[in-house]
């Protein structure tokens, strides 16, 4: 087993003079040899303030240069970075730090956040601010020390905690996902076996995914350094600037969520010629628009692959050629999966070809998380009999592949039938009058649950009864089964999302129920 720091150090030993990191806001850049010296200097600064092996340090930053350096320096000390989503609210961040027994923090220039964290962290715990003033917080630029005074690096135990990542938290506080040091190496190597990323200095990576996301940290940042590539920091997601960056710097590798790719091809000044250097594109996180997938494949001329995984498991499934079959997936090198019957007798009760069930992943492989910190109830719910229950519904195909269908928790049960929201949403969003849709089930005395479509109309469409009937007529023309058609419509300006950009179905259910039953009932429309 190699820890994350050992992997980066080995890369530096191989190519000390190769360019490792390039900043997008300044002229800063570091070779691998210079990067190791910078890591040691900042690690010494951390150590001077009491950061040591096992200290949990929250990082609350976008994908800044300083965030990259801070994480590597903490890894040098075998401290435990707790990578928090910087888009979360102050109270939520403070709550997570308190629940996680966090001993220090690195944040952005936010005096109010510094104040709230100081209230929940141990007395005198250091808080650093990167990129500007944050009241009483220390300047991260001054977090430096005498590298020669650092103790030699100590190899950690395989089961010792390496990182804390956080679930997206569609209900309640996000859960802290505990990742042991044994998980780091396989969480990088699958980028070769499933992602097709070859080791070498030719890799020039687009660093626009947040480092607090497993894709951004493992799938782009750490793997680029491990594979001796060059990591181009993207401090802020500005699509037009990113397209120009790809063209100017001849970037070769991008791993993003589909909305980012959609924003790139829609950016002012975008042309396919600006993306010709890209050799490999990976996407994951949410369902992709099939037309976007076809467009990227046609205009960029690169290899595009679909990656399925979770923070808890990393990459469980993938497809090497998803164009035209974006929902089909198959297990990868580190994966051992089954499709368990929902409500069945356990992990050995699996479905047959043509049937649907819940994807479960072998929890004995090294990529899998250890537990949810301080949440034995949630851990026991997800880790059962040596298997991780993903909560995602897949169909078992006759050719051995798996087709993603939806979420177990999101399934609507109406009139004895099971309805997957994603299928209904796809039909709705194929209608020109619909910009975006979220489908939920709300309690109904007749049907058990009523299917309701929460719709963001297209700019030219006027919300109301007439539009509801128009969309319903469209659904009748699609392949959507009659019982799956929405029985009610609510029109919204935007769909509510969390800090990870996931639609909050719980909030949609509340809005739909209020629109039908409450004072807002006049905003609930039943199709004719």
In the predicted structure, residue 102 carries a pLDDT above the cut 50: yes
Q: Which pLDDT score is estimated for 48? A: 96
Q: Which pLDDT score is estimated for 480? A: 83
In the predicted structure, residue 326 carries a pLDDT above the cut 90: no
- What is each CA distance from 307 to 54, 194, 267, 304, in whole angstroms? 32, 8, 24, 10
Q: Are 109 and 118 in contact (CB under 8 A)?
A: no
CA angle, residues 120, 123, 127, in degrees to nearest 5: 70
In the predicted structure, residue 76 carries a pLDDT above the cut 90: yes
* 221-243 pLDDT per residue, tens: 999 999 999 999 999 999 999 99
The whole-chain average pLDDT of the chain stands at: 92
Mean pLDDT of 460-482: 90
Contacts of 469 (CB under 8 A, 6+ apart): 527, 528
Q: Which pLDDT score is estimated for 286? A: 63
Q: How confident is the model at residue 481 (pLDDT cuts 50, 70, 90)?
A: confident
Structural domains in the chain, CATH included, are 336-406 (2.30.38.10), 412-525 (3.30.300.30)
pTM over 0.75: yes
Element (H, E) at 330: strand 328-331
Strands 314-319 and 328-331: antiparallel
Q: How confident is the model at residue 170 (pLDDT cuts 50, 70, 90)?
A: very low
DSSP-assigned letter for residue 497:
B
Q: In this prediction, what percent of the chain has a pLDDT beyond 90?
A: 77
- The pair of three-digit structure tokens given for residue 347, joined into one six-digit string: 């992990």
Within 343-419, residue ranges assigned H as helices are 376-382
Nearest by Cα to 316 from 404, 375, 235, 257: 404
Q: How confident is the model at residue 252 (pLDDT cuts 50, 70, 90)?
A: very high
In the predicted structure, residue 169 carries a pLDDT above the cut 70: no
Q: Which pLDDT score is estimated for 386? A: 96
Nearest by Cα to 160 from 47, 75, 42, 249: 75
CA-to-CA distance for 486 and 431, rounded, in angstroms? 14
Q: Which pLDDT score is estimated for 497? A: 86
* 288-309 pLDDT per residue, tens: 888 899 999 999 999 999 999 9
- The better pLDDT of the pair 362, 505 is held by 362
CA-to-CA distance for 58 and 391, rounded, in angstroms? 28
CA-to-CA distance for 496 and 505, rounded, in angstroms? 8
Phi-psi region of 400 (alpha: psi -120 to 50; beta: other; left: phi over 0): left
Q: Are 353 and 333 in contact (CB under 8 A)?
A: no
Q: How confident is the model at residue 520 (pLDDT cuts 50, 70, 90)?
A: low
* 8-66 pLDDT per residue, tens: 999 999 999 999 999 999 999 999 999 999 999 999 999 999 999 999 999 999 999 99
Contacts of 416 (CB under 8 A, 6+ apart): 448
Count of C-beta atoms within a 10 Å radius of residue 354? 9
* 372-412 pLDDT per residue, tens: 999 999 999 999 999 999 988 899 999 989 998 877 778 78
Q: Which pLDDT score is estimated for 269? A: 95
- The pair of three-digit structure tokens given for residue 15, joined into one six-digit string: 């190519």
Nearest by Cα to 426 from 418, 438, 409, 415: 438
Q: How confident is the model at residue 519 (pLDDT cuts 50, 70, 90)?
A: low
Q: Are 84 and 108 in contact (CB under 8 A)?
A: no
Q: Which pLDDT score is estimated for 327? A: 87
- The pair of three-digit structure tokens given for residue 341, joined into one six-digit string: 């019957």
């Amino acid at each position: 087993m190699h820890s994350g720091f050992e992997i980066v150090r080995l890369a530096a030993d191989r190519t000390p003079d190769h360019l490792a990191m390039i900043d997008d806001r300044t002229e800063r850049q570091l070779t691998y040899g210079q990067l190791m010296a910078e890591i040691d200097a900042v690690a010494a600064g951390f150590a001077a303030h009491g950061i040591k092996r096992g200290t949990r340090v929250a990082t609350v930053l976008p994908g800044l240069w300083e965030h990259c350096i801070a994480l590597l320096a903490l890894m040098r000390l075998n401290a435990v970075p707790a990578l928090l989503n910087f888009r979360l609210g102050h109270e939520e961040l403070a709550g997570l730090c308190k629940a996680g027994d966090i001993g220090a923090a690195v944040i952005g220039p936010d005096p109010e956040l510094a104040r709230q964290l100081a209230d929940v962290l141990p007395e005198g715990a250091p808080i650093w601010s990167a990129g500007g003033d944050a009241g009483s917080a220390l300047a991260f630029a001054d977090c430096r020390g005498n590298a020669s005074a650092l103790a030699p690096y100590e190899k950690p135990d395989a089961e010792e905690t390496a990182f804390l990542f956080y679930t997206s938290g569609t209900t309640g506080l996000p859960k802290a996902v505990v990742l042991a040091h044994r998980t780091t190496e396989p969480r990088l190597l699958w980028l070769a076996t499933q992602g097709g990323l070859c080791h070498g200095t030719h890799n020039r990576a687009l660093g626009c995914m947040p480092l607090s996301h497993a894709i951004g940290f493992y799938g782009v940042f750490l793997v680029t350094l491990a594979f001796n590539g060059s990591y181009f920091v993207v401090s802020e997601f500005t699509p037009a600037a990113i397209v120009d960056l790809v063209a100017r710097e001849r970037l070769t590798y991008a791993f993003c969520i589909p909305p980012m790719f959609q924003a790139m091809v829609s950016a002012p000044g975008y042309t396919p010629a600006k993306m010709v250097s890209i050799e490999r594109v990976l996407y994951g996180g949410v369902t992709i628009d099939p037309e976007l997938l076809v467009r990227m494949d046609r205009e960029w001329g690169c290899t595009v692959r679909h990656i399925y995984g979770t923070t808890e498991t990393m990459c469980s499934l993938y497809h090497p050629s998803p164009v035209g079959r974006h929902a089909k997936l198959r297990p990868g090198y580190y994966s051992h999966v089954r499709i368990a019957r929902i409500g069945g007798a356990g992990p050995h009760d699996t479905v047959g070809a043509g049937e649907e069930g819940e994807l479960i992943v072998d929890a004995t492989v090294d990529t899998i998380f250890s537990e949810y910190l301080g949440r034995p109830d949630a851990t026991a719910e997800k880790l059962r009999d040596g298997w991780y229950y993903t909560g995602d519904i897949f169909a078992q195909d006759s050719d051995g592949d798996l087709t993603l269908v939806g979420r177990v928790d999101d399934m609507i049960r109406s009139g004895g039938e099971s309805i997957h929201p994603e299928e209904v949403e796809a039909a709705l969003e194929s209608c020109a009058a619909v910009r975006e849709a979220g489908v939920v089930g709300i309690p109904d005395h007749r049907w058990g649950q009523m299917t309701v479509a929460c719709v963001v109309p297209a700019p030219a469409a006027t919300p109301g009864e007439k539009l509801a009937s128009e969309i319903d007529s469209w659904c009748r023309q699609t392949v959507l089964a009659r019982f799956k058609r929405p029985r009610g419509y609510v029109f919204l300006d935007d769909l509510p999302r969390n800090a990870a950009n996931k639609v909050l179905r719980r909030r949609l259910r509340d809005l739909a129920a209020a629109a039908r039953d409450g004072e807002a009932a006049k905003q609930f429309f039943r199709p004719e």
